[in-house]
Amino acid sequence: MRNTEHNFSGASDCTAASHAETNTLTCTLASPERPLYGTPSDDFSALVAVLTEAAHRARGGDRDAATAHIAQAVELLVRKPIFGPRTPPISVGQRQVTATLLPAWQARRLIAHVNTNFARRICVAELAALLGLSTTHFARAFKHTFGVSPHAYLVRRRIENAQELMLTTNEPLSSIALSCGMCDQAHLTRCFKRIVGQTPYAWRRTRKSRHGELLSVEMEHRHGKEASLDREKQLASELVATS
């Protein structure tokens, strides 16, 4: 009888020790001093500990404690996902930058409007009104999206168009300047040299000579292919005639 009592007492001691260890593990992993932002294995261990304690309390008839532990497990699941990729926290600065970026459809609308109207004067207020934004918010969002101010973007777009006209037409620089929305040739020259590093005249002379050489090479190659095709047709005709 004493042995039975001793064994029962030992089993109770083991059960109590197990409960104590479980409670310690639960309090350590799920306490406010140690939030669940560790590895997935740590999160899973905390959840298992809470659910194990809930099962022990339910078997012991303590339904209120079991319900409380189940509620704690649910809270752990809501507070921190156990599985899946971890998304790094976004800093305040990153949230501010993301909030000021223009949506893709607004950026496309701006680009299309600038490409259609850069030959005339375009002010920031006009672009802001196009998107229904204030000029201050628009200027900040534009720079975060495109990396430059609206004025700098417009000037670069005009220079790109001037380069295209200088290569594909024989128009004088004064006409090209007006076609691109510049005040005059001197305005074009100042902006062009600041951005490209050369004057429009020097850039056009060197690039157009190379452009002409490339065109002549392409024309020779095209004529050579046409001559080769004509020769092949002639040989085919001769073979048909002899057969």
* Cβ atoms of residues 178 and 135 within 8 Å: no
Q: What is the pTM of this model?
A: 0.50
Reply yes or no on whether the pLDDT at 75 is more than 60: yes
**Residue 230 three-state SS:** helix
pLDDT confidence band for 217 (50 / 70 / 90): low
Contacts of 53 (CB under 8 A, 6+ apart): 19, 22, 23, 26, 69
| Mean pLDDT to the nearest integer, 195-208 | 91
Rounded CA-CA distance 54/64 in Å is 10
- Taking only the tens place, the pLDDT of each residue in 8-58 is 344 444 444 444 444 444 444 344 444 433 444 455 566 667 677 777 777
Rounded CA-CA distance 65/54 in Å is 7
Which pair of tokens denotes residue 59?
């078997």
Rounded CA-CA distance 192/206 in Å is 15
| Mean pLDDT to the nearest integer, 107-125 | 94
**Residue 37 three-state SS:** coil
Q: Which helix (H) or strand (E) element contains residue 39? A: none
**pLDDT for position 48:** 67
The CATH code of domain 97-209 reads: 1.10.10.60
Rounded CA-CA distance 224/226 in Å is 5
Question: Chain-wide mean pLDDT for the chain?
Answer: 74
What does the radius of gyration of the chain's CA atoms come to, in whole angstroms? 39
Rounded CA-CA distance 165/180 in Å is 9
Say which residue the tokens 């599985």 belong to: 83
